[in-house]
Structure 1
Amino acid sequence: MGNNNHPGIYLFTIIISILPFHLFSQRGLDDSYLDQIVNEENYLPLYSEKNDEIVDLVVMPYGGESRLSYTKEQLIPYLFRYNRNGELEWLFDGFLFYEDRTDLGDGHAFEQHAYLFQKDRARKSEWEWLLDRIFTSGKSLSALNELIRETVVREEIMPSRKRKIILSIPEPLSGQLDWGDLNGKVLDFANDSDRVEAVRWYIDQLVDRFQAARYEHLELSGFYWLRPNDELSFQLMPIIASYIKSQGYKFYWRPSYGRFRGNTWKSYNFDAVYLTP
């Protein structure tokens, strides 16, 4: 008798758990902006010498303790393949490296949604830790550049251009008081000006380290806003976008498919948006 009762209990629990989430995910959807997509001019143009846009972008979650290290061997499937004639063909020309946490469950969050599943918010020390991870020798960017160099020498074939790199920016979490200091000033993330100051510092760090690495086969294309919707930080986006563009880079976003799908992305001054299903 006891065993016969369990399936009904489990089924009831599943229905109660799923239904509110389903209703929440559907509430407030507005597909009207999709009507604006009437021709190919609404999409990023294909690569040419005139526009130099990314054609094929691959998303590489990297940095956290539980992520792949992206060594040269692990990067091969993203960089090239051999066709039926045994000829090498280059694959993705754009690589987006992003991270939203230091580790699973017991880590620090670099973004508000990830904070729901982590023990704490990322502080300056974690932001610096992530910087070190991104530029670790023999992994991610370093490994990708080395793999291209070795492939060019071995196959005697050059890619048509450098691989373009997009790096994510941590979200300065609203209200955080323990992030740390810059130039002797303790930043208070209850103030938007302090949040912007932290982001500018991080962007400068990324640019300086990328340039210092002197990757001969990689080019820094721009920066990726980590938060997938426009809650809490929407007022920061245009300010950060202006700073990024003043440095000669582009601003990218992947809004969620849901209540906040980024249909106002142009007002935030992003250069390109990729829809996340």
Structure 2
Amino acid sequence: MKKIGVLLCRCGSVIGNSIDLRGLAQRCGRSPFVQEAREEEELCQAQGLASLAKFMEKGFDGLVIGACSSRKCEQAFKATAEGQLLPPSLVEVVDLRELCSIVHTDGRSATEKAYRLVNGAVMRVAASAPVPIATTEVVRSALIIGGGIAGVQCSLDIANAGYEAFLVEREPSIGGIMSQLDKTIPTLDCSICIEGPKLSDAGRNKNLRIIPNAEVTAVSGRVGDFNVSVEVKPTYVDPQKCNGCGACVDVCPIYQPNRYDVDLKPVKAIYSP
């Protein structure tokens, strides 16, 4: 059975004046999991953290702290507990000030609610196991799916920060829907006038590799080290030999629907996107 310590902070007079912390400590001490429960004046201050470190020397297997907003103090409490070799995952901070003292004018109701919250935290710590913390190497490159204006800007931000970026787009060219629009709201600026320079920057950036006409088929791995499979559809044109003269387009006899122009005007079977 775990030995859990419970500390209740008076937070000056904010918590102490509305909650019976002495009675609360006595009730918490009756739990079979709680080895010791007591009050402290101001845990978030330097002397309070020193008291917490001394309290942890008693060899607790878990710690529950009733204090003010966990967002404000939780990291300091967990760091102090970790310094005494207690894993941060076995430290629970209960917000007694915002959840009890401030919202209840009746001291009895505030104390009863505080007991339920603290007791719940005790039961959670009692049922928890230390969460292992592993250090892993992070691959310093990113893959962005979708070559619209958002994907292009995201890719440029990453590439300009000095990281390798891969932009995968399922269409033959990047730009997305914005490149099909005439005006942008609210300025009514020409959309391609805004997007065009970004597309040029993306094509010239040495840290950015654009993979058009492709789709992601599988993703595996973990955060910081993903393995991604990308299926690149064939273009039937050798980019190393094509000089963009357009002669093949002129002689091609076959037309196909043009999704880019919403099928308003057909396009040749071979074309430059």
Larger relative contact order (CA 8 Å, sep ≥ 6): 1
TM-score past 0.5 threshold: no
Give the structure with the larger strand fraction. Answer: 2
TM-score w.r.t. the length of structure 2 is: 0.22
TM-score w.r.t. the length of structure 1 is: 0.21
